[in-house]
Amino acid sequence: MDKGISVAEAKELLLKAGEEELPELAKRLGQADKAGVRKLAEQAEKKVAALQAERERMNALWKYEREHADCRFICGVDEAGRGPWVGPVVAGAVIFPKDCDILYINDSKKLSEKKREELYDVILEKAVAWGVGIVSPQRIDEINILQATYEAMREAIRSLDPQPDLLLNDAVKIPGISIAQIPIVKGDAKSASIGAASILAKVTRDRIMREYDSQYPEFHFAKNKGYGTAVHIETLRRLGPTPIHRRSFIKDYI
């Protein structure tokens, strides 16, 4: 490579470079005459290092799936919305292919909303099967939040085709399921499949809460997602509950 390469030329090369080409290209650009080109090379090297670190992190997240590789279809299961005062509890279920190549999966709470939305589409694209279960606030009041969570999980699992032969669950063992289960404490940060399920559940529920926000703008559900914030409490006392409030959660405030 010409050591006199311009910054514009270096930028074009970096934009066109594939993941496998980038390390060698960054090394060569680091020997260029122009400081601006060397700066670009430094940025590219940092990008390469970050990508390698992410691949190593994701490799660790396939630990449980590798340990049970004799199972054909391994499904991660998680929920979103056990704590809020408003809206449904939502469960996600995801089966990835054995050779799945996916990055940035994590506990949905550790990801930005933008990143969750991006990963939601990637998960749906790469999954062998995925499912979502939604249980209403009225049903939560009827059977309690834990049983409603189990119901949402069973609904998500039932919707899968093919059906899994092993479930990796975030912390819980789901009653009423004949499929083998492994509860993993903080599993959404330890298993790629559970982490993906947590993202599906979270994105689905957040979208529902944004729809509710347009119906009940005074409560700011798009922002608080139905949790008992100070503004939520004040509005609840001033206006009273909506039809989507969980009455069993707000009895001390009305």
CA distances from 43 to 11, 19, 24, 79, 83 (A): 11, 14, 13, 38, 42
**Per-residue model confidence (pLDDT) at position 19:** 82
The domain locations on the chain are 7-61, 65-247
**Per-residue model confidence (pLDDT) at position 173:** 98
Q: How far apart are CA 118 and CA 106, in angstroms?
A: 13
List, run by run, the mean pLDDT of 10-residue segments along the chain (254 residues).
Answer: 84 88 90 91 92 96 97 98 98 97 96 98 98 98 98 98 98 98 98 98 98 98 97 97 98 90
| Residue 135: strand, helix, or coil | strand
- The domain defined by 65-247 folds into Nucleotidyltransferase; domain 5 (3.30.420)
**Per-residue model confidence (pLDDT) at position 131:** 98
Please list, in sequence order, all residues whose beta carbon lies within 8 angstroms of the beta carbon of residue 190, skipping any fewer than 6 positions away.
Answer: 61, 63, 64, 184
**Per-residue model confidence (pLDDT) at position 2:** 65
Q: How far apart are CA 88 and CA 226, in angstroms?
A: 10
**Per-residue model confidence (pLDDT) at position 1:** 57
**Per-residue model confidence (pLDDT) at position 18:** 85
